[in-house]
């Protein structure tokens, strides 16, 4: 307990007039404010250093330093410009994302009503201390943990902490869970007084938030690029050393060969890769923002494209987070209520036909009783709010919505049968009874409650057959995930009976099945995940029957209907966690265990959630996705992606964006590394074909600038493949150059090399300026490969790439024909026929690239979603390239 303030001391200090102002100030000074520790903002200099730690950036920094050492300031400036752009874009995106998320913060109660010095006053929630006497009323958010001193029909929504859809009745002196309130929970009905026992980090909300200490690790793409950068750096240095040695052996000047080796290193390293990755991620983030999703960390977009498991909570994520009366049962038949939310739009269907109160008197009697025995209210849209809102118990609000959909007027019922007395709901009785005055002077009694407390001979006067039928149907509805209420009634001639007899000799009207309905997009989202080879996993704190019913509705496989519970996990009888898809009655710590089990099995896990209880799992997952409207502040701070409109379908769009990013990164790597391979091979093999120094350092850097510059970056903006969501995710352990990309790079690099060397040998044998021919053909052929790399050839889906390639081709030709560039690059003009030959060879590069894509596609025809998560099947021509 905080600073020596115990529970008993808090109780005594709270009665009867609360704390004194002086004592409250002392405790606030000793204990600290009632607030969670703020997330420290990352300084800009640290963000910049994080960007510069990328292995490829390190290689470029070394190359820039060496280039400066040789006096080639112009080329060093080009490399440093690329580094600067990449760093600025990354830092700006991260800062903007954090500011957008900060604007969503609305979890903590800004003020609280307390009793101090014997008077009620309003204070900032951060100033509440242990021992304070807090007053709670409908709509308030509990500012701290506390014990209930007294309560009148006090009902709290604890879904943000426990995941439970149904609010909990609070009363003093009852069992621990019902005699206490927790910070961040919402009062949905009634009022009460609470003595504060824990604030800030010592509250239930604070203890869960403390589990968020684990720092997020690298994303899959970051891990892949780290390994790729290290390998590429070693290979590049080794090959450049070979070129340097061969040049020196042939008697080339030392300074020339050093500059040539450095230039070749710059050419071999795809320095545009960080810019391509950043552009692709930024475009994905922008598209996500247009769909009301805020990316807190830029690499999170790509991570979603790599996920193999989507772990999601239930309340408010897969479901609407609000109750709805869906099934009606009377001894004469059944009916279904349609409509969503609390709006009056919807119908009551019996045998597929819409019915009204006049056409179905048994249903009208059942629903009318539910309207009379009811303390909730519905508030229509107002003040910019577009949806109807429940005031009071959401379960009772769902009954009001059902009455409106049947055409019943609650106000008219209240006027006809005004309430004159009641027996409030009590957890032990599980019933609520209201007494109404009839126009003829008699009394009308309505009782509603749980079936197990209502369908009993001592309560109902109906025969055993009817009670058995009702009990059977109630059990069936419960198995379907419904919360079932039974309603009964009887009339009295006058107030001739004692209140304790009101709940006897009643006549059963029927049953009402209520549930938290799935969101309209949830089933489609789950189906899209299954089609894309992503395993959906449901993790909730709700009842196992509710979890199973929802899983069946949405098509989440649960291992033959098996639901794993938190108790089974605690006892060690749950078995292999990665073998189950539905988990119920889980604690925040157990959610962490489930996420970690999937990650430990080699999967990339995304976790969606909105409550405080989801925060630790959101942080531990590879990517956390929080709800922006319903979500708590703890969940938003733990997440990588915040859905501002709470639409789970946006997650599928994010997966598509992530796969587009990854595909474009691989597309660029194929293009850039094939070109870099060709440049190295030309420099290595050219001397053996009679070309002592095939390219000058300036020529290498010029080709590299044109091919890896705008055309390379434009490849990162390629549109998504229409079939991308019909294929399984790539295996998490797969390298960024895996799935056959290395062989494809070598094939394309060898082709460009062969075309360039053939053109150079032909030019040398015919007396043409062969070095200029090699320079022109090598650059033009690479640009042809860029056009052949398009995701949607023959379309204008990415006009930036077409413009960039056209501009690069013009500049490549200018390097041969413009006198200033001739002097800079050491080239000589070529006949126009030679220019036409180079253009033709460029077109050949396009054709060969398209042919290779057809022979060895990213996702071969016939590839279907994997039978198991993360599996990838490969078929088709040249399948050896995929190994």
- Give the CATH number, domain containing residue 544: 3.40.50.1000
Same-domain pairing of 311 and 330: no
Find the range with the poorest average confidence among 57-71, 102-116, 385-399, 623-637.
102-116
| Torsion sign across C-alpha atoms 518, 524, 529, 531 | positive
Same-domain pairing of 684 and 563: no
Instruction: Check: CB of residue 655 under 8 Å from CB of residue 532.
Output: yes
Find the range with the poorest average confidence among 25-34, 516-525, 777-786.
516-525
Domain boundary among 500, 515, 530: 515
* C-alpha separations of 665 from 82, 141, 212, 273, 301 in Å: 17, 47, 32, 8, 13
pLDDT value for 860: 45
Same-domain pairing of 497 and 533: no
Q: Assign 171 a pLDDT band (cuts: 50, 70, 90).
A: confident
Task: Provide, rounded to the nearest whole percent, the portion of the chain with pLDDT above 70.
Answer: 80
Residue 81 lies in a domain: no
Residue 572 lies in a domain: yes
Query: Mean pLDDT throughout 662-674?
Result: 84
CATH number at residue 28: 2.70.150.10
**Residue that wins the pLDDT comparison between 53 and 743:** 743
Q: Determine the Cα–Cα distance for residues 613 and 634; give it in Å rounded to an integer.
A: 9
Same-domain pairing of 487 and 540: no
Question: pLDDT tens digits, residue range 336-357?
Answer: 999 878 888 899 999 889 998 9
Q: Determine the Cα–Cα distance for residues 547 and 564; give it in Å rounded to an integer.
A: 10
Task: Tell which residue, 204, 209, 210, has the closest CA to residue 184.
Answer: 204
Residues sharing a CB contact under 8 Å with residue 588, sequence separation 6 or more, in sequence order: 208, 211, 613, 614, 615, 616, 617
Task: State the average pLDDT for the chain.
Answer: 79
Instruction: Check: CB of residue 191 under 8 Å from CB of residue 169.
Output: no
Question: pLDDT tens digits, residue range 546-570?
Answer: 888 888 888 887 656 688 988 899 8
Q: Determine the Cα–Cα distance for residues 194 and 185; give it in Å rounded to an integer.
A: 13
Instruction: Check: CB of residue 193 under 8 Å from CB of residue 150.
Output: yes
pLDDT value for 446: 96
Question: pLDDT tens digits, residue range 584-628?
Answer: 888 878 888 999 999 888 888 998 877 666 777 888 888 888 887
Q: Determine the Cα–Cα distance for residues 647 and 63; give it in Å rounded to an integer.
A: 46
- How many domains is the chain built from? 4
Question: Where is mean pLDDT largest: 248-252, 382-386, 698-702, 803-807?
Answer: 803-807
Instruction: Check: CB of residue 726 under 8 Å from CB of residue 531.
Output: yes
CATH number at residue 486: 3.40.1110.10
Two tokens, residue 406: 């049947």
Which domain covers residue 375, as residue numbers? 324-515
Residue 428 lies in a domain: yes
Same-domain pairing of 716 and 734: yes
**Residue that wins the pLDDT comparison between 44 and 271:** 44
Same-domain pairing of 312 and 347: no
Task: Tell which residue, 233, 260, 263, 237, has the closest CA to residue 248.
Answer: 260
Task: Provide, rounded to the nearest whole percent, the portion of the chain with pLDDT above 90.
Answer: 21
Q: Determine the Cα–Cα distance for residues 857 and 586; give it in Å rounded to an integer.
A: 43
CATH number at residue 692: 1.20.1110.10
Residue 95 lies in a domain: no
Instruction: Check: CB of residue 539 under 8 Å from CB of residue 577.
Output: no
Decide if pLDDT at 741 tops 50. Answer: yes
Query: Mean pLDDT throughout 790-813?
Result: 86
Please calculate the CA angle 92-96-101 and round it to the nearest 5 degrees: 150
Residues sharing a CB contact under 8 Å with residue 775, sequence separation 6 or more, in sequence order: 695, 699, 702, 703, 815, 816, 825, 827
Residue 262 lies in a domain: no
Question: Where is mean pLDDT largest: 272-276, 637-641, 760-764?
Answer: 760-764
Q: What is the CA radius of gyration of the chain?
A: 35
Domain boundary among 646, 661, 678: 646
Q: State the DSSP code for 579.
A: G
pLDDT value for 165: 65
Same-domain pairing of 660 and 599: no
Query: Mean pLDDT throughout 492-508?
Result: 85
The residue behind tokens 């993790």 is 539
Q: Assign 806 a pLDDT band (cuts: 50, 70, 90).
A: very high
Decide if pLDDT at 459 tops 90. Answer: yes
Same-domain pairing of 306 and 398: no
Two tokens, residue 211: 């589990």
Residues sharing a CB contact under 8 Å with residue 795, sequence separation 6 or more, in sequence order: none
Residue 116 lies in a domain: yes
Find the range with the poorest average confidence among 139-148, 217-226, 372-381.
217-226
Same-domain pairing of 834 and 742: yes
Q: Determine the Cα–Cα distance for residues 589 and 613; give it in Å rounded to an integer.
A: 9
Q: Assign 863 a pLDDT band (cuts: 50, 70, 90).
A: very low
Same-domain pairing of 878 and 733: yes
Task: Tell which residue, 55, 116, 52, 59, has the closest CA to residue 85.
Answer: 52
Instruction: Check: CB of residue 606 under 8 Å from CB of residue 619.
Output: no
Same-domain pairing of 197 and 333: no
Query: Mean pLDDT throughout 702-722?
Result: 80
Question: Where is mean pLDDT largest: 39-48, 174-183, 239-248, 560-569?
Answer: 560-569
pTM over cut 0.85: no
Question: pLDDT tens digits, residue range 255-298?
Answer: 667 766 766 666 666 655 665 676 677 777 777 777 777 877 76
Report residue 477: phi and psi, to 5°: -65, -40
Two tokens, residue 25: 């100030």
Same-domain pairing of 378 and 495: yes
Q: Assign 190 a pLDDT band (cuts: 50, 70, 90).
A: confident
Question: pLDDT tens digits, residue range 212-238?
Answer: 554 445 555 656 666 666 677 677 778
Task: Tell which residue, 535, 661, 649, 545, has the closest CA to residue 603.
Answer: 535
**Catalytic residue IDs:** 313
Residue 414 lies in a domain: yes
Domain boundary among 617, 646, 675: 646
Query: Mean pLDDT throughout 188-195?
Result: 82
Residue 105 lies in a domain: no
Q: Assign 876 a pLDDT band (cuts: 50, 70, 90).
A: very low
**Residue that wins the pLDDT comparison between 869 and 210:** 210
């Amino acid at each position: 307990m905080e600073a020596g303030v115990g529970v008993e001391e808090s109780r005594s200090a709270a009665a009867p007039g609360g704390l004194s102002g002086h004592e409250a100030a002392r405790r606030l000074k000793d204990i600290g404010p009632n607030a969670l520790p703020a997330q420290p903002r990352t300084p800009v200099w640290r963000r910049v250093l994080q960007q510069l730690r990328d292995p490829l950036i390190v290689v470029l920094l070394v190359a820039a330093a060496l280039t400066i050492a040789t006096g080639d300031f112009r080329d060093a400036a080009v490399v440093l410009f690329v580094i600067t752009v990449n760093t600025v874009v990354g830092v700006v995106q991260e800062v903007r994302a954090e500011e957008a998320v900060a604007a969503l913060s609305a979890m903590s109660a800004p003020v609280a009503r307390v009793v101090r010095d014997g008077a009620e006053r309003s204070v900032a929630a951060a100033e509440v201390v242990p021992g304070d006497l807090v007053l709670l009323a409908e709509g308030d958010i509990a500012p701290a943990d506390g014990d209930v001193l007294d309560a009148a029909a006090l009902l709290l929504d604890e879904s943000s902490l426990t995941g439970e859809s149904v609010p909990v009745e609070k009363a003093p002196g009852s069992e621990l869970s019902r005699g206490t309130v927790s910070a961040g929970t919402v009062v949905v009905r009634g009022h009460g007084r609470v003595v504060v026992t824990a604030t800030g980090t010592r509250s239930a909300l604070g203890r869960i938030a403390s589990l968020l200490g684990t720092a997020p690790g690298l994303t899959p793409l970051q891990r892949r690029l780290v390994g790729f950068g290290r390998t590429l750096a070693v290979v590049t240095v080794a090959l450049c050393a070979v070129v340097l040695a061969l040049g020196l052996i042939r008697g080339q000047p030392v300074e020339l060969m050093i500059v040539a080796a450095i230039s070749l290193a710059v050419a071999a390293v795809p320095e545009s890769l960080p810019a391509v990755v950043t552009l692709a991620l930024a475009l994905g983030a922008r598209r996500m923002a247009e769909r009301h999703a805020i990316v807190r960390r830029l690499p999170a977009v790509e991570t979603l494209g790599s996920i193999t498991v989507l772990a999601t909570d239930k309340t408010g994520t897969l479901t609407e987070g609000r109750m709805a009366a869906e099934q009606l049962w009377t001894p004469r038949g059944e009916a279904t209520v349609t409509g969503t939310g609390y709006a009056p739009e919807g119908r009551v269907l019996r045998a597929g036909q819409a019915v009204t109160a006049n056409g179905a008197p048994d249903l009208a009697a059942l629903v009318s009783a539910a309207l009379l025995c009811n303390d909730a209210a519905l508030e229509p849209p107002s003040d910019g709010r577009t949806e109807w809102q429940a005031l009071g118990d959401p379960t009772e609000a769902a009954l009001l919505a059902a009455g409106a959909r049947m055409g019943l007027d609650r106000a008219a019922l209240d006027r006809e049968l005004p309430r004159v007395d009641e027996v409030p709901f009590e957890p032990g009785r599980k019933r609520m009874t209201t007494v109404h005055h009839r126009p003829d002077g008699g009394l009308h009694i309505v009782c509603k409650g749980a079936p197990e407390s209502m369908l009993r001979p001592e309560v109902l006067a109906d025969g055993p057959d009817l009670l058995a039928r009702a009990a059977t149907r109630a059990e069936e509805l419960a198995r379907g995930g419904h919360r079932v209420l039974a309603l009964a009634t009887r009339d009295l001639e006058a107030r001739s009976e004692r209140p304790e007899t009101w709940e006897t000799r009643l006549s059963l009207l029927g049953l009402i099945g209520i549930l938290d309905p799935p969101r309209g997009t949830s089933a489609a989202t789950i189906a899209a995940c299954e089609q894309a080879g992503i395993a959906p996993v449901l993790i909730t704190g709700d009842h196992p029957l509710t979890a199973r019913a929802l899983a069946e509705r949405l098509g989440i496989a649960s291992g033959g209907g098996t639901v794993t519970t938190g108790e089974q996990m605690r006892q060690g009888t749950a078995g292999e966690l990665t073998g189950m898809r539905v988990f119920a009655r889980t604690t925040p710590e157990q959610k962490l265990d489930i996420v970690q089990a999937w990650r430990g099995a080699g999967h990339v896990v995304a976790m969606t959630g909105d409550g405080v209880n989801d925060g630790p799992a959101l942080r531990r997952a590879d990517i956390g996705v929080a709800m922006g409207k319903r979500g708590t502040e703890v969940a938003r701070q733990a997440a990588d992606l915040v859905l501002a409109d709470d639409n789970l379908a946006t997650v599928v769009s994010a997966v598509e964006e992530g796969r587009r990013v990854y595909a474009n990164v691989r597309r660029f790597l194929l293009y850039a590394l094939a070109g870099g391979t060709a440049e190295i091979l030309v420099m290595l093999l050219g001397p053996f074909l009679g070309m002592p120094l095939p390219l000058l350092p300036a020529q290498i850097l010029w080709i590299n600038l044109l091919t890896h510059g705008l055309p390379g970056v434009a490849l990162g903006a390629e549109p998504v493949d229409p079939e991308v969501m019909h294929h399984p995710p790539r295996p998490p352990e797969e390298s960024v150059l895996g799935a056959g990309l290395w062989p494809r790079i070598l094939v394309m690099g060898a082709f460009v090399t062969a075309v360039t060397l053939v053109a150079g040998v032909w030019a040398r044998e015919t007396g043409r300026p062969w070095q200029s021919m090699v320079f022109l053909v090598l650059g033009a052929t690479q640009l042809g490969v860029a056009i052949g790399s398009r995701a949607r050839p023959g379309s204008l889906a990415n006009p930036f790439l077409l413009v960039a390639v056209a501009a690069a081709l013009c500049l490549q030709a200018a390097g041969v024909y413009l006198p200033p560039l001739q002097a800079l690059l050491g080239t000589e003009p070529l006949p126009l026929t030679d220019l036409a030959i180079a253009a033709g060879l460029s077109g050949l590069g396009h054709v060969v690239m398209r042919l290779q894509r057809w022979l060895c596609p990213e996702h071969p025809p016939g590839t279907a979603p994997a039978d198991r998560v993360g599996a990838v099947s490969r078929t088709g021509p040249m399948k050896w390239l995929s190994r």
